[in-house]
Amino acid sequence: MLRLAKLHENDLLPTSQTVYFTQNKLYSDDYKLLELDQHLLEELKEGQTLYIKGDDDENAVLCSGTRTYDLSGAETSNSLLLVQDMHFFDDLKDEKERSCKKITVSGIFYEYLSVTSSKPHLKKLMDLLNKSVYKGPEREYEIKEENLFSYEDLNNTVQASEKELKEILRTLNVVTIKSKIRLLDVEYHFRALSYMLKLIEENSWNLDEIDYEETLTSLKDIVPEEILISLFDKYTEESKIVDGLQLYSYRESEICRFFAQILLYGAGKFNLDEFLQAWRESVPEGMIPDEELLYGIAIIDRKSEPNIISAFPEENLSEDINERFNMLFKAREKWSVPEITPYIQRLTTQKMDVNALLAKFARASTVEGVKYYSAKHAK
């Protein structure tokens, strides 16, 4: 064997491996080669499961427990050989006796599955949830059973990791009813939350002394308990304990932001001063609306006279990053970093944060010491 290979024994380790090709289905499709980055490799080493998700009309994605990857076919000009029990230098360096082992190539590949870190694909999530929007118990007769989905149903179907799915569900106005995830109708959401907030005045509660049990007891006859529990979890946080009773406070920013959305809902454009006045009067006494809470849900035109505010929700923008930037710069010529961040935050990846996205897809300029971003190729 050494003579055939034109090698000298002193040039080799004691153990040599000779490679032969199988005579059985060398170019078989029984196996697919999958590219792994360090994260995916560690997941498999730890015994975790990777999932391929996607219907026939979707591009496939690969999901770990925490990340989503776009999955695509790739070609290589090099032959990739599939072998079993091949040994490498570190495995053989300590062997002393001369030996020759036979290694069989089970397959030859010129294609493999390539992975690219991406954001979750969420269009299907909204498509599914929009089939069963909860508008109150009196409207439940309109909902078909086959359009109701549990968390497990969504996790099996939506092209996102479990961690990412949980994070996006926390940002949506969803409730769990009889183990099914439901979007909450805007008008019903407002009605139920208004009942809850009205108890502050009726019971002369301080903003950080909200009683959970009293809230449920007072309203369970007019709002289903599951809705009350979901909204309480969404809008409150623990504040203090008085006489052994855990009390809560409403998250001021969440409440103010939702009331801004309600005022803008279906209104089109709004005189800014009139909007700000209505906004201040709509929230519970003691809460103070901040214009920064409007980032991601509205844009303000300060060049018009009078100033105008318009609804511009992030969830209405395209999932395609190029199209999203086109929509942003069509709606407004220049954006400051705080204003544009909520509109592109969801498209960031491990390697591309907000600043990197702006550097790639927009052009920076400075006006009176403030950095702004505009369309990359704008005149």
Mean pLDDT throughout 247-264? 94
Residue 88 Cα distances to 101, 107, 315, angstroms = 13, 19, 52
310 vs 322: CA distance, rounded Å: 23
- Flag whether pLDDT at 9 surpasses 90: no
Of 166, 183, 200, the domain-final residue: 183
Number of Cβ within a 10 Å radius of residue 26: 13
- Flag whether pLDDT at 110 surpasses 70: yes
Structural domains in the chain (count)? 4
pLDDT score of 123: 86
Of 86-95, 308-317, 333-342, the one with minimum mean pLDDT is 86-95
- Flag whether pLDDT at 153 surpasses 90: yes
Are 201 and 305 in the same domain? no
Residues in the chain: 379
pLDDT score of 155: 95
- Convert the pLDDT of each residue in 311-334 to its tens digit: 999 988 988 899 999 999 999 999
Percentage, residues of the chain above pLDDT 70: 99
pLDDT class of 378 with cuts at 50, 70, 90: low
Residue 220 Cα distances to 59, 209, 216, 298, angstroms = 45, 20, 6, 34
Return the H-helix or E-strand segment holding 113. strand 99-118
pLDDT class of 379 with cuts at 50, 70, 90: low
282 vs 341: CA distance, rounded Å: 27
- Flag whether pLDDT at 90 surpasses 90: no
188 vs 156: CA distance, rounded Å: 29
Are 364 and 262 in the same domain? yes
Are 257 and 371 in the same domain? yes
Of 198, 217, 250, the domain-final residue: 250
pLDDT score of 274: 93
Of 221, 250, 279, the domain-final residue: 250
- Flag whether pLDDT at 94 surpasses 70: yes
Query: Range of 201's domain?
Result: 186-250
pLDDT score of 114: 94
Are 89 and 141 in the same domain? no
- Convert the pLDDT of each residue in 45-88 to its tens digit: 999 999 999 988 889 999 999 999 999 999 988 889 989 888 88
- Convert the pLDDT of each residue in 171-216 to its tens digit: 888 998 999 999 999 999 999 999 999 999 999 999 999 999 999 9
Are 246 and 263 in the same domain? no
Mean pLDDT throughout 262-275? 86
**Across the chain, what does the average pLDDT equal?**
91
